[in-house]
Amino acid sequence: MSEDWSARQYLKFEDERTRPPRDLLAQVPLRSARRVFDLGCGPGNSTELLLERYPQAQVTGLDSSPDMLRQARQRLPNCEFVQADLADWRPPESTDLLFGNAVFQWVPDHPAVLRRLLAALPGGGVLALQMPDNTQEPALAIMREVAESGAWAARLAGTAAARDDLPTPAAYYDSLGSLCARLDIWHTAYNHVMAGPEAVVEWFKGSALRPFLSPLDDAMRRGFLAEYAARIARAYPPRYDGRVLLRFPRLFIMAMR
């Protein structure tokens, strides 16, 4: 991806984006922890939850985006943040908790990476993560449809802009189960109340739209977004108060060594 992630765009919906890590953390069974890593920490909203839950722990945020890390350091100046690629990063031996908030869907061959990270934890260590499981929702299907039409189609042909579907819960169970003393896998479908269809577009400009927009020049981006916004308005009709509901399924995994 040629452009860095924008922390400002991502945080336009901070309350909604922080609900899943809050729900995930509520299921982590560790009463205390000494060493905690926030994998794909973004602008630090999930890191802040970890610091509140484990105030005595050494909490470190990892991300590949310089802009996200800049925002995280401004938000939590006393916390350690490190630029790293989860595809080859390894936790130190004393790690108690690896916490991944909406990051592993971007990591190539992430089931193998999860096995490697889980195997590196000591007995009683926890790997907890959540990922969007929304590739079949209208908002993402429309991205793929728009990418295949218009003046930008040739530019996007052959790119890996569209995310693959996640493996099934059964596949994660078979992959991770032999490494665990306890493994919980569940789905939650959030229904986020958006001000209107334009808010749905703004939401995904901070996440799933980025790989589609990044290869395009300014004129193509404007055209792509205009077509995407028109189709989103048809797919997400207003409710009684003029707002729209953005259905957003997520997959959660809590694995204890």
Which tokens hold the place of 136?
A: 């079949």
Total domains in the fold of the chain: 1
Q: Give 134-149 pLDDT, tens digit per residue.
A: 999 999 999 999 999 9
Residue 128 included in any domain: yes
Residue 144 included in any domain: yes
Give the neighbor-by-neighbor strand order of the sheet with 182-194.
80-83, 58-63, 35-39, 97-101, 126-132, 244-256, 182-194
Average confidence (pLDDT) over 113-118? 98
Residue 25 included in any domain: yes
What pTM was estimated for this model as a whole? 0.93
Asked if residue 229 lies in contact with residue 198, where contact means CB atoms within 8 angstroms, the answer is yes
Residues of the chain with pLDDT > 70, as a percent, come to 95
Residue 2 included in any domain: no
Q: What is the CATH number of the domain that holds 54?
A: 3.40.50.150
Residue 1 included in any domain: no
Residue 152 included in any domain: yes
What is the span of the domain harbouring residue 140? 7-256
Asked if residue 7 lies in contact with residue 63, where contact means CB atoms within 8 angstroms, the answer is no
pLDDT of res. 140: 97
